[in-house]
Homo-oligomer: A and B are copies of this chain.
Amino acid sequence: MSDPQQCYDELLGLVRRASLLGSCGSVLGWDRETYMPPAGNEHRAEQLSLLAGVAHEWNVNPRIGELLDQLQDSELNDGHDSDSVVNIREIRRGYERARKLPQRLVEEMSRVTALAQHHWARARADSDFAAFSPWLRQIVELKREEAAAIGFADGGEPYDALLDEYEPGALSAEIASVFSALREELVPLLEDMSGAERRPDTSILERDYPVSKQKEFGREAASAIGFDFDCGRLDITTHPFCSGFGPGDCRLTTRYDQNFFSSAFFGTLHESGHGMYEQGLVREAFGTPLGTAVSLGIHESQSRMWENLVGRSPQFWQHFYGRAQQLFSESLSGVSQDEFVFAINAVSPSFIRVEADEVTYNLHIMLRFDLERDLISGRLQPEDVPTAWNERFTSDFGITPESDADGCLQDVHWSAGLFGYFPTYALGNMYAAQFFAAAKEQITDLEDQFARGEFAELLQWLREHIHQQGQRFPANRLVEVVTGSPLSNRPLMDQLSGRFRPLYGI
Contact = CB atoms under 8 A, between A and B. Distances in A.
A246 interface: yes
Interface in A11-48: 17, 20-21, 23-24, 27-28, 31, 35-44, 46-47
Interface in A254-277: none
A51 interface: yes
A36 B38 CA distance: 21
A230 interface: yes
Contacts of A235: 35
A39 B233 contact: no
A38 B228 CA distance: 11
A233 B37 contact: yes
Given A37-B248, A249-B36, A21 B50 contact: yes
A412 interface: no
Nearest to A231: B39
Interface string A224-265: 000011111101000000000111110000000000000000
A259 B24 CA distance: 38
A43 B230 contact: no
A36 B233 CA distance: 8
B232 A43 contact: no
A221 interface: no
A215 to B, nearest CB: 16
A171 interface: no
A327 interface: no
A233 B35 contact: yes
A43 B246 contact: yes
A377 to B, nearest CB: 37
B31 A46 contact: no
A122 to B, nearest CB: 14
A41 B21 CA distance: 16
A248 B39 CA distance: 5
A39 B246 contact: no
Interface centre among A21, A23, A37, A44, by most B CB within 10 Å? Answer: A37
Contacts of A47: 20, 23-24, 27, 245-246
A54 interface: yes
A120 to B, nearest CB: 19
A315 to B, nearest CB: 30
A274 to B, nearest CB: 16
Given A47-B20, A50-B20, A38 B230 contact: yes
A24 B43 contact: no
A43 B233 contact: no
A114 to B, nearest CB: 13
A21 B23 CA distance: 14
A37 B231 contact: yes
A24 B51 contact: yes
A39 B39 CA distance: 31
A376 to B, nearest CB: 31
A245 B20 contact: no
A249 B146 CA distance: 32
Contacts of A38: 230
A433 to B, nearest CB: 32
Nearest to A230: B39
Interface centre among A20, A42, A47, by most B CB within 10 Å? Answer: A47
Contacts of A31: 27, 31
A28 B24 contact: yes
Given A24-B24, A47-B23, A50-B24, A42 B230 contact: no
A28 B20 CA distance: 13
Given A37-B248, A43-B245, A43-B247, 5 more contacts: A24-B47, A24-B51, A37-B233, A37-B249, A40-B246
12 contacts: A17-B50, A23-B43, A24-B50, A27-B27, A27-B47, A31-B31, A35-B233, A36-B249, A39-B247, A40-B249, A43-B249, A43-B286
Interface of A: 17, 20-21, 23-24, 27-28, 31, 35-44, 46-47, 50-51, 54, 228-233, 235, 245-249, 286
